[in-house]
Chain A
Amino acid sequence: MSARAIRGRAGRPRLVLAALAAAVLVLGAPATAWGFWRATAPDVTAQLSAATVAAPSGISCTTVGGTLSRSAQVTWPAVAGAVAYRVTIANASGTTSAQQTVTSPTITITQGLLSDLLSGLITTLLGGNPLYVSVETVHSSGWISLTHTAGQPVSQTLLPVGVKCDT
């Protein structure tokens, strides 16, 4: 086979490619010329954020009751938009805890309530250790505050029996 024949075979694909490229150029040029214009304005921005559900701003506690029993009445300021409050009662380390949802900004902590919520809570209390009461807000949108009020300590009282506020 001569060198010229080899060149001829090798050149054939190039010829085909060149022809294809020419065809694309010829047919593509008018299409480009027909392309419609497009103008873009500088982006417009605005300030917008997701709301924040606030936790009650403070918490207070009053020991109530008579000569037979005592209980700790924990209250806090109402929060706008709140439909409920989630109260958490826990031991100091937080390893034992229970939650109670109330619709008014107050809850009365009694030994009976603690027993009903979680046996570990009453055990902690009767063991002489304090419990801590904290509150989160449940908003009408369904969101719950990401923060909660600082825990209000309550502890056991023996005479009369019950629960009292620790200042």
Chain B
Amino acid sequence: MRHVRIGVTVGALLALVVGVSGVHALWGRSETVPAGVTLTGDLAVSASWLGGSPVWAPLYPGSTTPDATLRVTGSGSGSTLGWRVQITSTVATQFAAYTTFQARECVTGTVIPAGGYPASGSLPAGAVVDVCVHYTLASNAPGTLQGQQVSPRISVVAQQVGG
């Protein structure tokens, strides 16, 4: 019985060692195939308002700004580079609880998921995505917010998902 236990233990250890070696082998192999391009390449993203910064009328409770289009361009070396766009927004502290932000891909109307767009698959290097964004002021926003700056700030991130 003791030998069996020892055997099982040694076997488990061997399996662990082989498993780890397998990971190393996979990693090592990625340096020799074209995927190595991504190891020495780059990934960048830019975002700017299409047609200039939006001119939004001041918000009343329950009202929403018209859509404004944000053009997002991802770039990077490597023809196999894949990426997703993630968009988040912050506003002035006093508006945080009363303001909602929505970003949609303009062509399809798909809401940009928290995990990035597209939800499955990826965008190729050099892809351009037009994102329609708007803000809504909650109907229960207090009157003390009148006249204050919402100060929206939009963060755009390109997240590599393949390469």
Measuring CB to CB, which residues of chain A are less than 8 angstroms from any residue of chain B?
A: 26-27, 30, 33-34, 36-53, 81, 139-144, 146
Contacts and interface: CB of A to CB of B under 8 A. Distances in A.
B47 to A, nearest CB: 4
A45 B47 contact: no
Contact of B153 (A45, A81, A143, A146): A45
Nearest to A52: B147
Interface residues of B, number: 56
B73 to A, nearest CB: 9
Nearest to B81: A37
Nearest to B55: A47
B48 A49 contact: no
Contacts of B146: 50-53, 143, 146
A26 B65 CA distance: 53
13 contacts: A27-B20, A36-B159, A41-B72, A41-B158, A45-B152, A46-B68, A48-B56, A48-B65, A49-B58, A49-B59, A50-B60, A51-B59, A52-B147
B59 A40 contact: no
A30 B23 CA distance: 8
Q: Which 10 A-B pairs have the closest CB atoms?
A: A51-B58, A141-B60, A37-B160, A36-B160, A52-B147, A48-B150, A41-B156, A41-B47, A30-B27, A44-B154
